[in-house]
Amino acid sequence: MRTLKDAKVGDVVLVKKLHGEGPVKRRIMDMGITKGTELKVRKVAPLGDPMELSVRGYELSVRKADAAMIELE
């Protein structure tokens, strides 16, 4: 299983499935990350956390813990 945490800078990926439960999953969905969404990894902080994504026309920073819950195709 490949997750967003494994993606490198410059990768354009497609969301396959969201893992997690309750409020955590809801928060990820509220940020615009849903099944079938295209994400581009723009930057990763020097220590690897957080990572900056382009999602639906805006920039979003996501923690590695949250990125590990996003399965990619």
For the chain, the maximum distance between any two Cα atoms, rounded to a whole number of angstroms, is 31
Q: What is the DSSP string of 19-53?
A: ---HHHHHHHHHTT--TT-EEEEEEE-TTS-SEEE
Domains of the chain: 4-72 (2.30.30.90)
Is the confidence at residue 1, as pLDDT, over 90? no
For 16, the 3-state DSSP assignment is strand
Tell me the pTM. Answer: 0.86
pLDDT in tens, 19-59: 988 898 999 999 899 999 999 999 999 888 899 999 999 99
Look at residues 9, 11, 15, 8 and name the one whose alpha carbon lies nearest to residue 69: 15
